[in-house]
Amino acid sequence: MPIQVVCNNGVMEEADGVANLLAAHRHAVAMVERLGRRWMRAEGPDATLIGRRLDSVMAEEAIARRRAAAAQVADVVEMKMKAAYFRRLLGNDWCELDVDDFRALLGSFAKLQS
């Protein structure tokens, strides 16, 4: 997988490894949670504006999740880190994973050079 630029902690940096992609996804999930809380308390036009922004942030989270799932693992350590992260996502209901996420995740594990 080629190196892609992602936003991590508000600063653009290159995601050159699985750890950076997972960190970018954690950041995206946190943004969705913050906006979701604000949206639940908002009323009227504010709720509409926050809802639009929330839709955009949720789309960015899905892209970050797919990149993290599809990222090629270099060794068994990265594979374990990635598997543990996605296990926590499923166990804590932090976000919804679809079939394509699972295919990308399993495909990245299958390509590991032994």
Per-residue pLDDT, averaged over 1-28, amounts to: 66
Find the mean pLDDT for residues 27-39: 94
DSSP 30: H
* The predicted structure's pLDDT at residue 7: 47
65-74 pLDDT per residue, tens: 999 999 999 8
Residue 109 has pLDDT above 60, yes or no: yes
User: By the 8 A CB rule, do 31 and 57 touch?
Assistant: yes
pLDDT mean over 88-106: 87
